[in-house]
């Protein structure tokens, strides 16, 4: 069987986006890493939030091998994934005013903590209000979004603003409006989204930068090991015990 031309084109597109992000967002990623390191060193807590498929990048940095043990998932019932039925409900909930405020008020997040909000379009009420309210509570907010949407679409939030307008640090994923990298004769819609690949890479790069900054300051980063290697469970147990007041995915 010959190689797939379209499969190769998708890899090329994804690699191109990753290269752009590496080169064009280096300063922003370093700044985000420094903010994470500051929060870890000062005793604050780390949270990540995303809705729909944007939640995949947030989930990818929570309780995983090679990850920072202090990263917690801030969840909004019904919008974390496609397991909600019907799946379209999750998209509808992203447009509900006031939901973000209710979630934050009932969460452990407080002043001095840090929240990473992942939203490809950044145009819906939920991520915009999440950023607004988190900053009002005294959290540092990092927004991971596609700036192209803010420049080429209309906000669905009453303020007319986008996620990028309410963040301390903005990380631009460079994803084009529509999140589909390929077209082909015989297919009426563009296809092959790359946002998950790119946003997950940005999240891991940000945490790598945070680890680098902590080590430079003489602070040992609280990392998790794989539970599938010898000694992994014991290592993770010690880390979770030491930092139990800043880890919420065990409660």
Instruction: Using pLDDT thresholds of 50, 70 and 90, give the confidence band for residue 251.
Output: low
pLDDT number for residue 192: 98
pLDDT in tens, 122-179: 988 899 999 999 999 999 999 999 999 999 898 887 787 899 999 999 999 999 999 9
pLDDT in tens, 164-177: 999 999 999 999 99
Q: In this structure, what token pair is assigned to residue 135?
A: 């900053």
* pTM: predicted TM-score of the whole model, two decimal places: 0.93
3-state helix, strand, coil in the chain (%, to 5): 45, 10, 45
Does residue 139 contact residue 109 with C-beta atoms inside 8 Å?
yes
pLDDT number for residue 215: 98
Does residue 177 contact residue 149 with C-beta atoms inside 8 Å?
yes
Instruction: Using pLDDT thresholds of 50, 70 and 90, give the confidence band for residue 240.
Output: very high
State mean pLDDT over 113-119: 97
DSSP strand pairing (114-118 vs 71-73):
unpaired
Buried b / exposed e along 89-128 (16+ C-beta atoms within 10 A): ebeebbebeebbeebbeebebeeebbbbbbbbbbbbbbbb
Instruction: Using pLDDT thresholds of 50, 70 and 90, give the confidence band for residue 79.
Output: confident
Does residue 119 contact residue 198 with C-beta atoms inside 8 Å?
no
CA distances to 22, 43, 251 from 120, rounded to whole Å, are: 18, 30, 30
Average pLDDT in the chain: 93
State mean pLDDT over 70-76: 93
Helix segments in the chain, DSSP class H:
5-24, 26-42, 55-59, 88-93, 99-105, 125-136, 147-152, 195-216, 232-242
1 pLDDT more than 70: no
Instruction: Using pLDDT thresholds of 50, 70 and 90, give the confidence band for residue 191.
Output: very high
241 pLDDT more than 90: yes
83 pLDDT more than 80: no
């Amino acid at each position: 069987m010959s190689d797939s031309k379209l499969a190769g084109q998708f890899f090329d597109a994804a690699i191109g986006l990753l290269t752009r992000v590496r080169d064009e967002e280096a300063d922003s990623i370093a700044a985000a890493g420094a903010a994470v390191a500051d929060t870890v060193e000062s005793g604050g807590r780390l949270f990540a939030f995303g809705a729909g498929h944007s939640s995949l990048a947030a989930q990818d940095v929570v309780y995983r091998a090679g990850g920072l043990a202090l990263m917690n998932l801030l969840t909004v019932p019904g919008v974390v994934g496609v397991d909600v039925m019907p799946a379209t409900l999750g998209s509808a909930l992203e447009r509900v005013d006031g939901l973000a405020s209710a979630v934050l008020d009932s969460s452990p997040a407080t002043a001095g903590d840090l929240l990473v909000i992942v939203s490809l379009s950044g145009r819906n009420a939920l991520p915009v209000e999440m950023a607004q309210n988190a900053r009002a509570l005294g959290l540092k907010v990092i927004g991971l979004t596609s700036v192209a949407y803010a420049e080429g679409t209309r906000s669905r939030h009453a303020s007319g603003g986008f996620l990028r307008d309410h963040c301390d640090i903005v990380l631009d994923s460079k994803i084009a409006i529509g999140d589909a990298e390929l077209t082909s004769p015989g297919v009426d819609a563009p296809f092959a989204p790359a946002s998950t690949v790119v946003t997950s890479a940005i999240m891991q790069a940000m945490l790598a930068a945070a680890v680098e900054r902590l080590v430079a300051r003489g602070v040992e980063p609280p990392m998790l090991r794989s539970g599938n290697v010898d000694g992994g469970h014991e290592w993770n147990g010690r880390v979770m015990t030491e930092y139990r007041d800043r880890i919420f995915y065990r409660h």
